Amino acid sequence: MNGALFLLTVNFLIAQLFCAFFLVISRRSRIPSAGRWFAAAFAVASLSAICEVVIRYADFDRLASFGAFSAVLSAILMIRVGIGRLYGVPSNLWAMAGILGISLPLNLMIYDLPRGTFSHSLGYQLPFAIAELICAGAVYRSGRRETADRILIGLLLLTAANFASKIYFSVEFSGGATAQAYLASTYALVSQSLSAVLVVSTGLTLLAVIVVEIMDDARANSEIDPLSGLFNRRGFNGHVSRILSRPVPAYPHCIILCDLDHFKAVNDTYGHTAGDQVIVSLGRMLKEHAPPEAICARFGGEEFAIFLPSTGETTGYLFAQGLRNSFSALAFPGLPDTVRLTASFGVCALAAGEDSIADAINGADAALYDAKNSGRNRVNRMRRATATGPEEWQAQA
């Protein structure tokens, strides 16, 4: 076995491994179809190695050469479909069908031309380069610019340049006039080596993109309260911290804490399923009424928090009053139509250079405590003199 055939064998095994990896990882992905398309692409691409080995040892090298070309081109276009699924950039199936419809008959037409001629090299390599450019363009048009996305764009462009350069190098450093002579040449060894590096690099980068997507989803899910659909305390703290760490955080901000009135009685009277529906309804109402940049969270039980960036205390107070009025008019699944519930709110502003976010939460909680003690179903602003310390706030929470 010469060097080129050895690399073909290695390429085949690598493609099969990538196929298995993508199938496994697609089961954990939010977009499993992307991984399946990538797996199918590598499976199809591996057939090209088999076809090129057949060229070496069999007499029907025309059919095998056509098979190798078809497998590689089809695999690249299947990667384009997978990229479309992963990046949300739909594939133009008519355009891809057109590429196949032109390239495959052209490959049969140029087969009898010597491999060292410009006409043969152009007809053989140009479809690959175009298909790789289409893949790179899809990633670019998605607008995503994370590190893995940039690397993927670069690798796809580099692979396109590799195919385009072969138009020249296959003429300049002729690998032989026939397919069998090509496989025995030094040029084939170099070409197959470079292709193997690019295949592995592209496959690893596609895997990295999917893994990053899975990790982002897992992190996001760990920050979401499953019942209300709002952030949990961890997600709330993380997103608020990111806003406060901006170069221009645009103070003041406003914290609103909300607590359902007599919620235990709802669970005791109508059951926990009805109580869950109340939580779901309040979470939906907060998402519908809150400004786009607001951060809404369920801290636990029947306690909710809202962070209003670049919002003063007066505006936050009026917003909380609107929430209180809207909630008191809601009807809830699982409860009698005549039953209406109420909620109490505490409001506290966060000014530049004064208090921390923890202090503002403490202040809003103190105001909420006053609202509860003042008859419930009301909105209270923080009175600085009555703000409780962190230990007492933690005990109340």
pLDDT of residue 395: 34
Residue linked to tokens 């929470």: 397
Q: Please compute the mean of the pLDDT values over residues 183-188 and round it to a whole number.
A: 61
pLDDT band at 177 (very low <50, low <70, confident <90, very high): low
| Structural contact between residues 198 and 155, judged by C-beta atoms closer than 8 angstroms | yes
Of the pLDDT bands very low, low, confident and very high (cuts 50, 70, 90), residue 391 is very low
pLDDT at 121: 84
Separation CA 195–CA 180 (nearest Å):
19
Strands 379-381 and 343-350 turn out to be: parallel
Distance CA 214, CA 197 (A): 26
Q: What is 260-319 written as a DSSP string?
A: ETTHHHHHHHH-HHHHHHHHHHHHHHHHHHS-TT-EEEEEETTEEEEEETT--HHHHHHH
* Token pair 């659909």 in the structure block, residue: 229
How many other CB atoms are there within 10 angstroms of residue 210's CB atom? Answer: 25
Tens of pLDDT, residues 194-223? 877 888 899 999 999 999 888 888 877 788
* Average per-residue pLDDT for the chain: 87
Q: Is the pLDDT of residue 386 over 60?
A: no
291 is written with which tokens? 């400004």
Instruction: Please give the structure tokens belonging to residue 181.
Output: 């002579």
Nearest to 65 by CA among 201, 161, 181, 148: 181
Instruction: Report the pLDDT value the prediction gives residue 186, as an integer from 0 to 100.
Output: 64
Spatial contact of 11 and 49, defined as CB atoms under 8 Å apart: yes
pLDDT tens digits, 322-371: 999 999 999 998 899 899 999 999 999 988 766 788 989 999 999 999 99
Query: By C-alpha distance, which of 206, 234, 210, 241 is closest to 300?
Result: 234
- Higher pLDDT among residues 180 and 353, named by residue: 353
Q: Residue 182: which pLDDT band, with cuts at 50, 70 and 90?
A: low
Structural tokens at position 10: 């290695």
Mean pLDDT of 74-102: 94
Q: Can you identify the CATH homologous superfamily of domain 3-222?
A: Rhodopsin 7-helix transmembrane proteins (1.20.1070.10)
Query: In this structure, is the dihedral angle defined by the CA atoms of residues 380, 386, 387 and 393, taken in order, positive or negative?
Result: negative
Q: How far is CA 308 from the centre of its chain?
A: 27
The phi and psi torsions of 292 (rounded to 5 degrees) equal -55, -35
3-class secondary structure, 203:
helix
Most trustworthy range by pLDDT among 51-60, 114-123, 210-219, 241-250:
210-219
- Alpha-carbon Rg for the chain, nearest whole angstrom, is 31
Instruction: State the residue for tokens 């048009």.
Output: 141
pLDDT score for 196? 77
Class of residue 248 by CB neighbours under 10 A (exposed 0-12, middle 13-18, buried 19+): exposed
* For range 156-167, the mean pLDDT: 92
Is residue 20 a contact partner of residue 148, using CB atoms and an 8 Å limit? no
Question: What is the third-level CATH fold of 233-396?
Answer: Alpha-Beta Plaits (3.30.70)
Enumerate the β-bridge partners of residue 311. Answer: none
pLDDT digits 0-9 by tens, 7-27: 778 888 889 999 999 999 999
Identify the pLDDT of residue 159: 94
pLDDT at 364 (0 to 100): 94
pTM: 0.68
- For 35-48, what is each residue's pLDDT tens digit? 999 999 999 999 98
Give me the pLDDT at residue 353, please.
66
Residues of the chain above pLDDT 70, percent: 88
Residue 167: is its pLDDT beyond 60? yes
Tell me, what's the pLDDT at 174? 61
Q: What pLDDT does residue 397 have? A: 33
Q: Please check the confidence at residue 32 and state whether its pLDDT lies above 50.
A: yes
- Beta-sheet strands, E only, within the chain: 253-260, 295-300, 303-308, 343-350, 379-381
Residue 396: band (very low, low, confident or very high) from pLDDT cuts 50, 70, 90: very low
Condensed to tens digits (0 to 9), the pLDDT of residues 241-292 reads 988 887 766 788 999 999 999 999 999 999 999 999 999 999 999 999 999 9
Q: Could you check whether the bond before residue 333 is cis, i.e. omega within 30 degrees of 0? A: no
Spatial contact of 196 and 14, defined as CB atoms under 8 Å apart: yes
In the beta sheet, which residues pair with residue 321?
none
* pLDDT at site 264: 93
Type of residue found at 213: E
The C-alpha angle with vertex 329 and arms to 323 and 335, in degrees rounded to 5, equals 120
DSSP code, position 311 = -
Q: Name residue 78's amino acid.
A: M
Sorted by where each begins, the domain ranges of the chain are: 3-222, 233-396
Residues 255 and 360 sit within 8 Å (Cβ to Cβ): yes
- 178 pLDDT tier (thresholds 50, 70, 90): low
pLDDT band, residue 70 (cuts 50/70/90)? very high
Alpha carbon 176 to its chain's center: 46
Percent of the chain with pLDDT over 90: 61
How far apart, in whole angstroms, are the C-alpha atoms of residue 347 and residue 381?
5
